[in-house]
Amino acid sequence: MQTAAKEQVPPVPIRNAMTIDVEDYFQVSAFAPHIPRDSWPSLSCRVENNIDRILALLDEAGVKGTFFTLGWIAERYPAMVRRVVENGHELASHGYSHLRASDQKADEFLDDITRSKSLLEDIGGQKVQGYRAPSFSIGSDNLWALDLLLEAGYRYSSSIYPIQHDHYGMPDAPRFAHYPRGENGLLELPVTTVRILQRNLPAGGGGYFRFWPYSVSRWFLQRVNKEDMKPGIFYFHPWELDPGQPRQGGISMKTRFRHYLNLHRMEGRIKALTRDFHWGRMDRIFLE
């Protein structure tokens, strides 16, 4: 007697985390020596229009993501922050004024993360559980910052980048979700890297995503999903979709290359990502 073949159930595709670091073009760390912070209020902001473009792009693709938002931006554009929440996205903190965690003393850092969390929750009307340090500025020398994030009421951080870089990075850190301070500490969710030839290569967005051909970035993320069987974490900035932004003078060739490379290609590449992979919010992928 023959038995019926068992029906093959297709595997559930891995959902990756789509994240946006909400800051304006003049707030990037590389421009800090050239654009004084006290000049920020007088500069023409472009973040609101860029966020609206991103919301439309994600809505068209049916993608929900996590918006790591500066308190400085939220304070000036509360209606924009509410649109992010109303569109079903997670609101998370990028600190208040884009100060590197590594440049702050403990009391200054605690004040910054507490202030930004309270401000975002008041404006957005939802609990803020996640934090990403500006320029991934938590590493081996200031892991105490994770203890303060836990004290301030955060549940996770995405602030340690396990790569070698001239401005940030902790290359020996784990590549995937872990608890750097023990099981009772804060959950750390690193931006995605791919392990090739005993080295971690950046595979989760930013300037590297504009530098690699799209086919390389797609292969990197596919490798993480299929071989590591882990969700990826991808990030980008609103200004990266804005090739018309004002050009900053007096910067080095390296900074100019990193900031302006392939801005005109970025929106098309993000759209391709939304077609080629499954996406979700950080909290729903890693906390639920």
Say if CB 171 and CB 197 are below 8 A apart.
no
Please report whether residue 219 resides in a domain: yes
State the Cα–Cα distance between residues 280 and 268, nearest whole angstrom. 19
Say if residue 31's pLDDT is above 50.
yes
pLDDT of residue 165: 73
Please report whether residue 79 resides in a domain: yes
Domain region containing 251: 15-287
What is the rounded average pLDDT of the residues 167-194? 93
Number of domains in the chain: 1
Q: Among 94-98, 168-172, 226-230, 261-265, which is the least confidently predicted range?
A: 168-172
State the Cα–Cα distance between residues 197 and 47, nearest whole angstrom. 39
Say if residue 167's pLDDT is above 90.
no
Please report whether residue 4 resides in a domain: no
State how far the alpha carbon of 180 is from the alpha carbons of 75, 160, 279, in Å.
32, 10, 26
Please report whether residue 240 resides in a domain: yes
Instruction: Extract the runs of DSSP E, i.e. beta strands, from the chain.
Output: 15-22, 66-69, 90-93, 130-131, 156-157, 187-188, 193-196, 199-202, 233-236, 278-280
Q: What is the pTM of this model?
A: 0.94
pLDDT of residue 189: 98
Say if residue 181's pLDDT is above 90.
yes
Task: Identify the H or E element spanning 149.
Answer: helix 144-151
Domain harbouring 216, CATH code:
3.20.20.370
How is residue 74 written in tokens? 């939220």
pLDDT of residue 268: 98
- Residue 93: beta bridge partners? 69, 131
What's the pLDDT band for 219 if we cut at 50, 70, 90?
very high
131 CB burial (10 A radius; 0-12, 13-18, 19+): buried
pLDDT of residue 1: 47
How is residue 186 written in tokens? 């804060």
What is the rounded average pLDDT of the residues 259-288? 97
Please report whether residue 9 resides in a domain: no
Please report whether residue 205 resides in a domain: yes
Please report whether residue 5 resides in a domain: no
How is residue 164 written in tokens? 């070698």
Please report whether residue 1 resides in a domain: no
Task: Identify the H or E element spanning 15.
Answer: strand 15-22
Residues 183-206: tens digit of each pLDDT: 899 999 999 999 999 899 999 999
